[in-house]
Amino acid sequence: MPLIAAFVATIAGWVNKKYCFAVAALGLTGALTSSVGLLSYVLTHGPVQYRLGGWAPPFGIAYQIDPLNALILVVIAAVALLNLLGTQRSVALEFSEKIGAFYTLYLLFVVGMLGIVSTGDAFNLFVLLEIASITGYALIGMGRDRAPLATLNYIFMGTIGASFYLLGVGYLYLITGSLNMADIAAILPQIYASKVVLFAFIFCMAGLFMKMAFFPVHGWLPNAYAYAPSAAAGLIAPLTTKVMVYAMVRIALFVFKPEFTFEQMGIGEPLVWAAVAAIVMGSLLALAQRQLKKMLAYVIVAEVGYMVGGFWLGNRAGISGAVLHIVNDAAMTLVVFMAAGNLFYRLKGDSFGALKGVFREMPVSMAAFVVGALSIIGVPPTCGFFSKWYLISGAIEAGHYGFVAALLFSSLVNAVLFFRIIEIGYFEPFTHANHHGHHQPPVRRFREVPMSMLVPLLVAAGSLILLGVFSGDLVTKVIHLALPGQIT
């Protein structure tokens, strides 16, 4: 089972010079179907390895697909496809002349993401990371007023992050002489004591933390996401940080072994506290925002804290929660950003003031937004609840009550955040109530966005609930299969 997915999409990207959306959609559909196929294949037959160029792994590059990354592949492809379908019109609106270039970049970004997830080679991961980053820079850089500056900051942070990662890989290569993840993992245990290994680990993690905007190196994210064009934000916001978290999981568990990562390093505890800080700060800063997308961006910062913290709890529940949250958060971020994109498409602004009375004008988009919001708050049966459940039970198991408190705190703050928006959209402008309770609702046009933007959004919103309902299966049948046995 080769990773046809990526190639179909890539090639679509190049053929696509003829300004066609259809090719992109087709390519991503292909990617989605093949990754779903891959997932089911992996689930029944166990991990798959694909040798590119036909060379055996330590010498050539290999793709290594286990249930975990097959799952993430499905998520990526699905998110990309839905967002693509849902934003067709806003793309046409925002980049009337550069649609071809936009879709090419879009597909290349997805290719990069798919590759990062599936590759089994530490250096290949870097190259793919850069593809995703460069296309990401370009997509974000086309946004409104402050976007170029924000993007430049993103480039600086991103480059430092990627370089750190590269440095970490260099250290690993220096000390092991290998670049293949499995090979490194086999060699490393003999030399855990070396300081070089330690620094290699620190560099890899530091680089990935920068890329995923983990507090306190989250500075680039809010502006970059807030000013990005909606179509790009809907793609990049759900994927970048989550895929980076996945890369972290992969490096920490499958290159370095869990016993090294969690026992020898002894950085789990401080990192969980950093995650607590990320969650708290992300939530508080989100509270201070007066712009929808910016607020959502800070919520993402907090969500990254969830995942990183959950992972570094180092027990099975915590890690399952973190991985489940990768999937769930991708879905819910997609929903809220797509909804925000729809609002932006109609309202031409996303400050809170512009949202007045939006429920009446765009009930369907707002309904989807509410579902996404509920999921982020963590209300059952949406998926956000279940990943939070695992995270919290992991934290209780690890005796880390600070993390529990932070999660609950952020749920409450999220509730405040989203209900503030919902209130504005629902109540304002106030109806003039007369004494007898006769209300004349303000007559405003029903201005819902076109069907082509609504249907993908609704599908995404529905998937939140489906993911929630099936999260048990997801955890027991997919995630637990993939986690190394040492983690209890």
Partner 1 sequence: MHTIFSIKPLIAVLISMLVTPVLVSSKNANIREGWTFTAAALKFAVVLSMLPAVLDHTVLECTLIEVMPGLAIKFRVDPMAMLFALVSSFLWIVTSAYSIGYMRGLDEHSQTRYFCFFALSLSATIGVAFAANLLTLYLFYELLSFATYPLVTHHQDKEARSSGRKYLFYIVGSSIGLALPAMLVTYHLTGTLEFSGQGFMAGAASKSTLAVLLFMFVFGFAKAGIMPFHSWLPAAMVAPTPVSALLHAVAVVKVGVFCILRVVTGVFGVQHLNVIGLGTPLAVVAAVTVITASLIALSQDGLKRRLAFSTIGQLSYIVLGAALLSPKGLIGSMVHIAMHAFGKITLFFCAGAIFVATGVKNISDMVGIGKRMPVTMTVFLIGALSVIGLPPCGGLISKWNLVLGTLEADQFPLLIVLLVSSILNAAYFLPIVYRAFFCTEEESQFENQVKEAPRWCLVPPVITACLSVVLFFYPQPFFNLARMAVRSMGFDV
Partner 2 sequence: MRIFGLLTVLLCGGLLIYHTADFPAWGDPASPASTHLSPYYIEHSIDDTMVPNLVTAVLADYRSYDTMFETVVVFAAGIACFFLLRAAKSKTPESMLYRHIPTGITLRIEKGSKTPPDSADFERIDSVWVPYDLIIKITCRLLVPFIQLFALYVVAHGHHSPGGGFQGGVIFGAALILFALTHNLSNSLKRINEKTSALFAASGVLVYAGTGILCLLLGANFLDYSALAPLLGGDPKMAHSHGILIVEIGVAIAVMAVMVWIYYNLASRGRHDEGL
Partner 3 sequence: MDGLFDFIVSKYNYWGYVVLMMIGMYAMIVKKNLVKKIIGMNIFQTAIILFYVSIGAKRDATLPIIAHGHGDAHHAVHAVDYMNPLPHVLMLTAIVVAVATLGVALALTIKIYKQYNTLEEDEINARLRGR
Kindly list the distances between the CA atom of residue 147 and the CA atoms of 140, 141, 151, 293, 338, in Å, as whole numbers in the listed order: 7, 5, 6, 13, 19
Nearest distance from residue 411's CB to partner 2, in Å? Answer: 35
Residue 333 near residue 75, CB atoms below 8 Å: no
**Which of 194, 431, 476, 488 forms a contact with partner 2 (CB under 8 A)?**
194
Q: Rule CB under 8 A: is residue 426 a binding residue for partner 1?
A: yes
**Which of 25, 36, 127, 284 forms a contact with partner 2 (CB under 8 A)?**
127
Q: Rule CB under 8 A: is residue 179 a binding residue for partner 3?
A: yes
**Which of 20, 48, 98, 182 forms a contact with partner 2 (CB under 8 A)?**
98
Task: Pick what 52 binds: partner 2, partner 1, partner 3, none; C-beta below 5 to 8 Å, kind-dependent.
Answer: partner 2
Which span (137-145, 335-343, 368-376, 440-448) binds partner 2, by CB under 8 A?
A: 137-145
Q: How many CA atoms lie within 13 A of 468 on its CB side?
A: 23
Q: Rule CB under 8 A: is residue 392 a binding residue for partner 1?
A: yes
Nearest distance from residue 27's CB to partner 1, in Å? Answer: 34
Nearest distance from residue 352's CB to partner 1, in Å? Answer: 14
Q: Rule CB under 8 A: is residue 52 a binding residue for partner 2?
A: yes
Task: Pick what 166 binds: partner 1, partner 2, partner 3, none; C-beta below 5 to 8 Å, kind-dependent.
Answer: partner 3
Rounded distance, CA 25 to CA 21, Å? 6
Rounded distance, CA 449 to CA 283, Å? 30
Phi, psi (rounded to 5 degrees) for 4: -60, -30
Q: Rule CB under 8 A: is residue 135 a binding residue for partner 2?
A: yes
Residue 52 near residue 60, CB atoms below 8 Å: yes
Nearest distance from residue 170's CB to partner 2, in Å? Answer: 9
Residue 361 near residue 447, CB atoms below 8 Å: yes
Q: In terms of CB distance, is 142 or 364 closer to partner 3?
A: 142
Task: Pick what 471 binds: partner 3, partner 1, partner 2, none; C-beta below 5 to 8 Å, kind-dependent.
Answer: partner 1
The footprint of partner 3 (CB under 8 A) covers 123, 126-127, 130, 133-134, 137-138, 141, 145-146, 148-149, 151-152, 155-156, 159-160, 163, 166-167, 170, 173-174, 179
The footprint of partner 2 (CB under 8 A) covers 2, 7, 10-11, 14, 17, 50-55, 58-61, 97-98, 101-102, 104-105, 108, 111, 115, 121, 123-124, 127-128, 130-131, 134-135, 137-139, 141-142, 148, 173-179, 187, 194-196, 198-199
The footprint of partner 1 (CB under 8 A) covers 374, 377-381, 386, 389-390, 392-393, 396-397, 404, 408, 411-412, 415, 419, 423, 426-427, 430-433, 435-441, 468-473, 475-476
